[in-house]
């Protein structure tokens, strides 16, 4: 019975992931004007991602020498924020 539940959970998870990607694809395709497309590409560029990467569910690549300055600043802000938080 446990195997049946885990199998059903996996099927449900895949279905939910397909629905999430379909919704994301529809939302991305709503960027119709050139200005909206440029804005979307600029956002993705800050994370070294493309539309295809996002739709495929890929994570942003790790920081590298070629990463945008904005990504480095965001990473630095997260490090500083993490180091400045009180220890539990």
DSSP annotation of 85 reads: S
For the stretch 25-65, pLDDT in tens is 888 888 888 888 888 888 888 777 888 888 887 777 777 77
pLDDT of residue 65: 76
User: What does the block give as tokens for 2?
Assistant: 């446990």
Confidence at residue 87, expressed as pLDDT on a 0 to 100 scale: 57
Domain boundaries in the chain? 1-29, 31-88
| SS3 category, 36 | helix
Do 64 and 47 contact (CB within 8 A), yes or no? no
SS3 content of the chain, % helix, strand, coil (to 5): 70, 0, 30
């Amino acid at each position: 019975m446990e195997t049946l539940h885990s199998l059903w959970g996996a099927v449900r998870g895949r279905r939910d992931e397909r629905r999430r990607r379909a919704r994301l694809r529809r939302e991305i395709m709503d960027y119709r004007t050139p200005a909206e497309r440029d804005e979307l590409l600029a956002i993705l560029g800050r994370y070294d991602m493309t539309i295809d990467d996002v739709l495929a569910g890929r994570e942003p690549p790790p920081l590298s020498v070629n990463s945008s300055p904005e990504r480095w600043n965001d990473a630095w802000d997260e490090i500083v924020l993490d180091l400045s938080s009180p220890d539990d």
